[in-house]
Chains A and B, each alone.
Chain A
Amino acid sequence: MTLWGVLQVITLVLVVVGAALAVWLRDLLAAVIALAASSLLLSLEFYLLQAPDVAIAEAGIGAALTTAIYILAIRKTRRKEEE
């Protein structure tokens, strides 16, 4: 496995960890932050696969737009998830 392969494996493991945190955390604001981190690292993975245009789209939608919309939704409803 080359060095770039090792980098891709580490990035993908971090993406999966972030997605699992977004599911596991009960605090919805923390879940949104974990989802933003997961989306961020997915953009880095697109970048490592040498697709910079896809990385720009993923960064714009995943990091900025999705986080803003989810936080506005949490603001309008409630923050803690019920059992």
Chain B
Amino acid sequence: MIAELSFGVAAAVLLAFMCVSMLRLAIGPTAADRAVALDTINTLVVTTMVLLGAAFGQVIYVDVAIVYALLSFVGTLYIARYLEGGLK
């Protein structure tokens, strides 16, 4: 009970960090700011998934976070390649 509560509070704090990153994504002047904000949200989502997998007590939930960490990298890679001017 106590462990579940502490995991939930930690997830709530990470969601508050996501709110701040979403603010940067909204007001960011350049596209690079928004890309960095998206990458920060990516990392926070993966962290929250691992945390909730520990809270729910299911090992299979951590696999979702691993797949997610692999896939979110591809999106950031495409944005970075576009900003660099490549991507023929």
Residues of chain A having any CB pair with chain B under 8 Å: 3-4, 6-7, 10-11, 14, 17-18, 21, 27, 29-30, 32-34, 36-37, 40-41, 43-44, 47-48, 50, 52, 55-56, 59-60, 63-64, 67-68, 71-72, 74-75
Chain A contact surface mostly: helix
Shortest CB–CB separation between residue A43 and chain B, in angstroms?
7
Contact B61 A52 (CB under 8 A): yes
**A interface footprint on B48-88 (CB within 8 Å = 1, 0 otherwise):** 11001000100011011001100110110011001000010
Shortest CB–CB separation between residue A72 and chain B, in angstroms?
7
Shortest CB–CB separation between residue A19 and chain B, in angstroms?
11
Shortest CB–CB separation between residue A31 and chain B, in angstroms?
10
Contact A3 B38 (CB under 8 A): no
Shortest CB–CB separation between residue B34 and chain A, in angstroms?
5
Complex CA gap A57/B60 in Å reads 15
Known: A4-B8, A18-B22, A71-B82. A64 touches B56 (CB 8 A): no
In the complex, what residues of B have CB within 8 A of residue A36's CB?
38, 75
